[in-house]
Amino acid sequence: MYKRLLCLLLGLMLCCLPALGEEELEMTNDEITRLLWEMYQTENGDIDYTVLPDDYQTPIEGKSGVYNLLLLGIDNPGSAITGRSDTMLLASLNARTGTLKLISFMRDTYVAIPHHGHNKLNAAYAYGGAELLLETLEASFGVQVDGYVAVNYQLMADLVDAIGGVELTVTKDEMKKRTDEMLSLVHIDEYQDRLPERLSGGQQQRVALARAIVIHPQVLLMDEPLSNLDAKLRIEMRSVIHDIQRQVGITTVYVTHDQEEALAISDRIAVMNKGVIQQIGTPHHIYSRPANVFVATFIGHSNLFHATLSKKDGRTELCFPSGYRLPMTTLSDECTDGQEVVVGIRPEEFSVSSEGLTCDVLNRTFLGRYSNYFLHFTDGMCVPDQPSIEFSQDLGHTQTLYQPGDHLTLRPNPDKINVFTADMEKSLLKDVIRYEQA
């Protein structure tokens, strides 16, 4: 298997060589060929040198048989170093064990770039090409790269031409039929004769969506497709994408940092932190029953409070530092008396009451249907380093507006709040599912 995988990997690189230019290739064709030879080994892992040429000499002698090759996918429009390395894949070839390990560096990782301060890792290539990127990888991760191959995404059309093109058997009538169907589906059929520069941002995004689905892919991948649109167009395109998903029936993997976007479009959401999936579930479950504090604060806003548990006579209560006690019926059986916990309360889960948590209004923001209040609680009540503590008031159900300086007593809804372990890594509620099955 390793031999086949290596052959596939290196074969792809060899095919790319004519379009790369010698300046972007640190490893010669002979060295690549020799690395292929080295993968011919016996069952016990030893290299069978009988299949090698008599004059063969390993190019990686003295390096413990390991060769680190960096595969770069760059997006610069020409030969000048102006783009970024959006794909950074390290292929670690171990000739002695016959193994191939692939490691992907996350492009948005903030690192110290020599002589350029701190920035995303993929900016290193933009500042100083592959040489600076290699220096950055070594300084930040201790990784020594022996060679690299860079493929320009903008040159993929040239690569296709170099191998003789890709044949598609589609008649003109079928092309016209599919085009009309897709334009109608995204509601821009009346603009099909317009030049690209005469289309609005939203219309251009619809064209891009039509181009992606016209070939009827099994899976559609979208990476921040609405990030360059204004707020009104984003809402409009959210509805378009949601409707098309249902009409066409294409499984779509949608990457976004916009929480509202994720909730509006998705059937299921996977929340990730530093490359690790924290929770998978429906938008409603992710929002209402987050698996940990990261999910609770990443999807929507959650106010975080310190509390301890009291379990006596079959009754479980949350005891806040102010002395307020809130009966709970949704906690799991693993909770113990006196256990320290973190309580997550969303802004809309507060109600003004005669008993509860007391606070002062710092400021108010009018949001049309809602008024959002920024609050101050006494020291020791809240988990430190939160951006804000908020209360959201539905103006359709109240005539009272509070002003900065007003003193409020807020009662949390015990059926809606979330309770986490003191380290904030796990929910203590009964009905939380971390990895919901499809």
pLDDT tens digit sequence for 12-44: 443 333 333 333 333 444 444 444 444 444 444
State the burial class of residue 210 (Cβ atoms within 10 Å of its Cβ: 0-12, 13-18, 19+).
buried
Which of residues 107 and 309 earns the better pLDDT score? 309
**Cα-based distances in Å from 63 to 55, 60, 96:** 20, 6, 11
Whole-angstrom distance, CA of residue 352 vs CA of residue 425? 30
Which pLDDT score, from 0 to 100, does residue 159 have?
Answer: 66
Whole-angstrom distance, CA of residue 295 vs CA of residue 281? 11
Which pLDDT score, from 0 to 100, does residue 23 have?
Answer: 31
Whole-angstrom distance, CA of residue 341 vs CA of residue 336? 10
Instruction: Label residue 251 by pLDDT band (50, 70, 90).
Output: confident
Mean pLDDT of the chain: 80
Domains of the chain plus CATH, in order, are: 2-159 (3.30.420), 172-267 (3.40.50.300), 300-421 (no CATH)
Q: Are 234 and 226 in contact (CB under 8 A)?
A: yes
Q: Is the pLDDT of residue 408 over 90?
A: yes
Which pLDDT score, from 0 to 100, does residue 45 have?
Answer: 45
125 CB-near residues (< 8 Å, 6+ apart): 72, 74, 81, 83, 84, 85, 132, 133
Q: Are 294 and 278 in contact (CB under 8 A)?
A: yes
Which of 87, 91, 84, 86 minimizes the C-alpha distance to 70?
Answer: 91
Whole-angstrom distance, CA of residue 61 vs CA of residue 333? 60
Which pLDDT score, from 0 to 100, does residue 76 have?
Answer: 62
Q: Is the pLDDT of residue 277 over 50?
A: yes
Which pLDDT score, from 0 to 100, does residue 228 have?
Answer: 74
Beta-carbon count within 10 A of 76 CB? 19
- pLDDT tens digits along 137-170: 999 888 888 888 887 766 666 667 777 777 777 7
- In this prediction, residues 355-360 reach a mean pLDDT of 95
Q: Are 392 and 414 in contact (CB under 8 A)?
A: no
Which of 59, 42, 156 minimizes the C-alpha distance to 97?
Answer: 42
Which pLDDT score, from 0 to 100, does residue 43 have?
Answer: 47
Which of 272, 294, 295, 297 minimizes the C-alpha distance to 106?
Answer: 272
Q: Are 88 and 121 in contact (CB under 8 A)?
A: yes
Beta bridge partners of 228: none
* Residue 120 φ then ψ, to 5°: -65, 150
Instruction: Label residue 64 by pLDDT band (50, 70, 90).
Output: low
Q: Is the pLDDT of residue 112 over 50?
A: yes
